[in-house]
Amino acid sequence: MRSLVIIPTYNERENIEALLRAILSLPLDLEVVVVDDHSPDGTGEIVDRMAAADPRIHVIHRPAKLGLGTAYVAGFRFGRARGYDRLLTMDADFSHNPAHLPDLLARSQEADLVIGSRYVPGGEVIDSPWYRRLLSRGANGFARLMLGLTPRDVTAGFRCYRPQVLEAIAPETIRAEGYAFLIEITYRAQRAGFRIAEVPIRFRDRRYGRSKISRREIWRALGTVLRLARDRIAG
């Protein structure tokens, strides 16, 4: 399978070079596109330099910090236009270990959307503060309860999509931003009848840099779940 890994970035200069080298060292037919939101720390320039030396690396430069959801959409558009067999997404901060990429791709032989999950047997969270764990568990439980979702980790950004999933659910029309985008895309995929599977991962809190999660994003996720629940009840 010819696969593309989509990595949104904003101020990830401490992580990005090592991450790209780790991904491309795997014995898989992988390419990477970094969607950089005009990082002031020079992340985009680092990727430009690496791309000049390795044709498997691509970069999309955006003019400002435009958000996680639209970064995914830009990556999906790039991948679908070039005919990749699988489109994967992951964070740039090493919280998602590239060593799990083969597991996601292997499971995608039988599933349309595969989620790298912290909350299935074998999954775990390492070096994350207790309040972050509580928030994540609570957000996932609330979304699953309100929307009838079957996956256990609906806010996870470590994923593998078959292109037909994205063609059917039109992620460019999703209104949600940030991690709420992931909840809505999961909801749409399940409603459309696609096969969703999870593989266990070890999620480790970021090595360097600062977390991008804010109170505003938490409230946006809550609003997204309530909006989708209302639409679900309305039929």
Closest by Cα among 221, 140, 134, 133 to 181: 221
pLDDT of residue 208: 57
Contacts of 213 (CB under 8 A, 6+ apart): 132, 179
Closest by Cα among 37, 67, 104, 69 to 182: 69
Q: How far apart are CA 165 and CA 32, in angstroms?
A: 20
Give the other-Cβ count within 10 Å of 11's Cβ. 20
Give the other-Cβ count within 10 Å of 1's Cβ. 14
The residue range of the domain holding 110 is 3-234
Task: Provide the CATH number for the domain around residue 112.
Answer: 3.90.550.10
* pLDDT tens digit at each of 235 positions of the chain: 899 999 999 999 999 999 999 999 999 999 999 999 999 999 999 999 999 999 999 999 999 999 999 999 999 999 999 999 999 999 999 999 999 999 999 999 999 999 999 999 999 999 888 788 888 888 899 999 999 999 999 999 999 999 999 999 999 999 888 889 999 999 999 999 999 999 999 998 866 555 555 567 777 788 888 899 998 888 7
CB 100 within 8 A of CB 199: yes
pLDDT of residue 144: 94
In the structure encoding, which two tokens stand for residue 157, read together?
């950004």
Q: How far apart are CA 12 and CA 91, in angstroms?
A: 10
Closest by Cα among 154, 166, 136 to 74: 166
Angle (nearest 5°) at CA 107 between 201 and 97: 30
In DSSP terms, which residues pair with 4 in a beta bridge? 31, 87
Per the structure, how many domains does the chain have? 1
Record the pTM: 0.93
Residue given tokens 């985008």 in the structure block: 181
CB 174 within 8 A of CB 191: no
